[in-house]
Amino acid sequence: MKSNQKSMLLGFFVAIALLALLTNPTVTVWLQSMGITLPWMAQVPTTGGGGGGGATATYTKGIVTTDTAAFDSLDIATSRTIGTNVKVYWYANRGQWVLLGSGDAADINVEERDNNVIYAVVSVPSGQAFYVDYQKILSMNSRATSVDYKDIDGDNVKEFVFRLNVADIPLATGTGKYSLPCFNVYLLTYDSSHSISSPSNIVAGTSKVTKYVEWYTTMSAEKKALAVCKVVLVANTSNIEEITLKKLNIPGIGYLDGSSFEQSVLSSEIRWTYTITSTLYGADYIKLPVNSLNKFEFTTTLEVDLASDNIQVTLYVYYLTSAEATASLSDAVVLTTS
């Protein structure tokens, strides 16, 4: 009899412990994530993973008032105008892209199914000479978790799309609306008047020798930038024994071996091409901050073995305008036998 009483008491305590374990919120969340829901389980809020440092949080849903401002990326004391210099649109992705609103102080409707995520789409209007400094925007806004470059509104124009975490954003007292922490936009001023140097011709002789062409570009003023997308070197000979590209410096990337370039030998020329990108996303942005040396070196190292003919070597620096049109700077140097 005593043995049976002990067994009953042991079973009772085991049942109590098991019930306590299964009703623990942490265990409940884990079971629900495995697709297991027991009758007594309440739905526990899903972890938002947002500004609360990973604490458990419900999804933000309701009216959210946006806050955004724009600045010169190389001089943050200089502001830019939202709506004029740059446009900011707010989107949700609900199986398809849904425009929620635009600009500063807009009331947008965020739903639970948005899973604490909205998107800020940043674009420069036609006629405005600015680049979107997407890397700085991403690094300076803690709620921006990623950036993409794509066309989400079907107008065949790609724009910068920032994914924003809106978990645990503050609820404004008395309004019943949530307040989006300020989304800061940074712009680089496109330099449409930059230039390239014109080094003197170089005597290479008729023996194998290494020569350096000291090309460089300059900006027209401080606080401007240029989006370099491709660099091409062309020699007006098809004889690969006469000239070899050893190294070429690209500002912001560094010295590249000639093997990093795609070499094409044509009927009357040799062409070396290094492609960075074809869009403003991934371009090599060379920038001139205040009180900085205005010299962006494209120093080129060549191994030359001339026979009797001179060779002209031309450097092309391709860049993207603020409207993403491709243009180039170029200069030619002649390598002479004497």
**Are 181 and 209 members of one domain?**
no
Name the burial class of residue 217, with classes exposed (0-12), middle (13-18) and buried (19+) by CB atoms within 10 angstroms of its CB.
buried
Domain finish residue from 142, 169, 189: 189
Q: What is the pLDDT of residues 97-113, one digit of tens each?
A: 999 999 999 999 999 99
Considering only CA atoms, give the Rg of the chain. Answer: 30
pLDDT at residue number 174: 84
Task: Please state, rounded to an integer, the average pLDDT across all residues of the chain.
Answer: 88
Residue 214 neighbours by CB distance under 10 Å: 14
On whether both 226 and 157 belong to a single domain, the answer is no
Same domain, 178 and 299: no
Answer with the one of 157, 189, 221 that is the final residue of a domain.
Answer: 189
Burial class from Cβ neighbours inside 10 Å (0-12, 13-18, 19+) for residue 121 reads buried
Sign of CA dihedral 275, 278, 281, 284: positive
Q: pLDDT for 285-297, tens place per residue?
A: 999 999 999 999 9
| Tally of CB atoms within 10 A around 203 | 14
Range of the domain at 255: 195-336
Each residue's pLDDT tens digit, 110-126: 999 999 999 999 999 99
List the chain pLDDT tens, one digit each, 338 residues: 444 544 554 554 445 445 454 445 444 434 433 444 444 333 333 333 344 444 455 889 999 999 999 999 999 999 999 999 999 999 999 999 999 999 999 999 999 999 999 999 999 999 999 999 999 999 999 999 999 999 999 999 999 999 999 999 999 888 899 999 999 999 999 999 999 999 999 999 999 999 999 999 999 999 999 999 999 999 999 999 999 999 999 999 999 999 999 999 999 999 999 999 999 999 999 999 999 999 999 999 999 999 888 999 999 999 999 999 999 999 999 999 98
Domain membership of residue 312 (yes or no) is yes
My answer on whether 115 and 167 are in the same domain is yes
